[in-house]
């Protein structure tokens, strides 16, 4: 005898699953298409099977007089269809479908150039090269592979930029300093040199660094968070990085698979990528669909989309990282869940009302 899937017991929360205007239940998205049979208990009273109608993940009561309110506790016992199977073609189709996401982000980036309200007052390109292209770049990698700020190199960079004019590098250095409370780390002499640098280049826009970052990255935070939440639970990580502050580069992150969170530093690889773009001296293209390894050794699929400002040059990365091992190996349970999460639709009363009103 073949093994049959065991019934699942689910509490059907009134606010989440009950559609009062249509008097029906919507089953959880991850099982709605796999449901074969449903039994319902309302406050421990089992509803006769002949009074339950199951159609495409929607459960209705055939008796129009049966009332359900938010005070009722409703439990559904759902019997699922046979186990899911997936072909090699379907695996490749899934991976190709996910490849559309970087292209979408690139389109959004090119459609909405980066600028803040302060930048709009003077959005002319700064002269010189970016700080990360210089030998005195003060971000170094420690023994744990983590980027840290070398205060000696920071003061060295200040001295060099006082002697040799380089607007873009000076702005990058002050941005890095203000982002990391550099005045509390420098010696008395170092503070004076840093002040001289700020005065020479008349840099004032980073005085309120948090406000500046919110204005600069606000739109991209919404885009990355929105796309990330659209693909919730899929093991596709979306990260917005601040490339001018590698010590706390993660501005926002969704579906984290790399162990990072908001405010986390970039990686050794990330610093190398920042230097690579800086040394180009022009707006470099995206790196798409390459392989990287997590700290666990697991190989993932990655894409990096650089964000450029006309005035400052490289200011950020949008990175997409995806776990692909189980998909490539044809893990049926993982792939079934992945597809369910990819196509999951959440019921929204407000949207339903708008749709109804525009028919």
Per-residue pLDDT of the chain (359 residues; tens, 9 = 90+): 344 445 566 677 666 667 766 677 777 766 666 677 788 888 888 888 888 888 877 888 888 777 787 788 887 777 766 544 555 555 555 555 555 566 566 555 555 556 554 444 467 889 999 999 999 999 999 998 899 999 999 999 999 999 999 999 999 999 999 999 999 999 999 999 999 999 999 999 999 999 999 999 998 999 899 989 988 888 999 999 999 999 999 999 999 998 899 999 999 999 999 999 998 877 778 888 889 888 888 899 999 989 998 899 999 999 999 998 888 888 888 888 888 887 777 767 777 777 777 76
SS3 state of residue 114? coil
Tokens describing residue 248? 């706390």
Residue 127 CB: number of other CB atoms within 10 A? 10
Q: Please, are residues 282 and 263 in contact by the beta-carbon 8 Å criterion?
A: no
- 28 contact partners, CB below 8 Å, separation of at least 6: 10, 17
Give the strand order in the sheet containing 18-19.
Answer: 18-19, 24-26, 58-61, 52-55
Residues 92-116+218-342: name the CATH superfamily: PAS domain (3.30.450.20)
Integer Cα distance of 139 and 132 in angstroms: 8
pLDDT value at residue 146: 93
Integer Cα distance of 213 and 207 in angstroms: 11
- Whole-angstrom CA distances from 201 to 56, 134, 321 are 65, 18, 39
Please state the pTM of the whole predicted model. Answer: 0.70
Question: Where exactly does CATH 3.30.450.20 map onto the chain?
Answer: 92-116+218-342
pLDDT value at residue 94: 57
pLDDT value at residue 119: 46
**Taking every pair of C-alpha atoms in the chain, what is the biggest distance, in angstroms?**
87
Burial group, residue 317, by CB count within 10 angstroms (0-12, 13-18, 19+): buried
Task: Transcribe 219-281 into DSSP letters.
Answer: HHHHHHHHHHHHTTTSSEEEEEEETT-GGG-EEEEES--SS--TT----HHHHHHHHHHHHH-
Residue 211 CB: number of other CB atoms within 10 A? 14
pLDDT value at residue 4: 41
What is the chain's percent helix, strand, coil content, to nearest 5? 40, 25, 40
Exposure on the CB side of residue 250, measured as CA atoms within 13 A: 20
Q: Is 233 left (phi over 0), alpha (psi -120 to 50) or beta?
A: left
- Location of structure tokens 């990698």: 141
pLDDT value at residue 58: 81
């Amino acid at each position: 005898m073949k093994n049959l899937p065991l019934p699942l017991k689910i509490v059907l929360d009134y606010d989440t699953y009950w559609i009062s205007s249509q008097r029906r239940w919507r089953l959880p998205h991850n099982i709605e298409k796999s449901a074969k049979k449903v039994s319902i208990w309302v406050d421990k009273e089992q509803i006769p099977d002949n009074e339950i109608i199951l159609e495409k993940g929607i459960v209705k009561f055939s008796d129009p007089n049966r009332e359900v309110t938010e005070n009722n506790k409703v439990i559904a016992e759902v019997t699922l269809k046979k186990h899911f199977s997936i072909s090699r073609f379907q695996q490749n189709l899934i991976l190709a479908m996910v490849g559309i996401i970087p292209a979408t982000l690139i389109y959004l980036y090119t459609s909405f150039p980066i600028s803040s309200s302060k930048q709009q007052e003077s959005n002319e390109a700064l002269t010189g090269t970016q700080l990360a292209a210089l030998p005195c770049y003060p971000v170094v990698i420690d023994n744990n592979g983590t980027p840290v700020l070398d205060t000696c190199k920071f003061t060295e960079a200040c001295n060099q930029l006082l002697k040799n004019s380089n607007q873009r590098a000076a702005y990058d250095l002050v941005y890095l300093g203000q982002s990391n409370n550099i005045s509390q780390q420098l010696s008395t002499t170092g503070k004076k040199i840093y002040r001289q640098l700020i005065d020479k280049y008349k840099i004032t826009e980073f005085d309120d660094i948090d406000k500046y970052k919110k204005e600069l990255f606000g739109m991209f935070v919404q885009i990355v968070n929105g796309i990330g939440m659209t693909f919730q639970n899929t093991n596709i990580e979306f990260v917005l990085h601040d490339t001018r502050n590698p010590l706390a580069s993660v501005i926002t992150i969704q579906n984290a698979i790399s162990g990072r969170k908001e405010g986390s530093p970039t990686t050794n690889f990330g610093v190398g990528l920042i230097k690579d773009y800086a040394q180009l001296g022009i707006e470099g293209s995206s790196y798409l669909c390459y392989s990287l390894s997590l700290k666990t050794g697991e190989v993932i699929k990655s894409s990096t989309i650089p964000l450029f400002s006309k005035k400052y040059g490289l200011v950020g990365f949008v990175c997409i990282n995806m776990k692909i091992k189980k998909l490539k190996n044809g893990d049926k349970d993982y792939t079934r869940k992945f597809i369910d999460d990819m196509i999951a639709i959440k019921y929204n009363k407000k949207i339903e009302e708008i749709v109804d009103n525009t028919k």
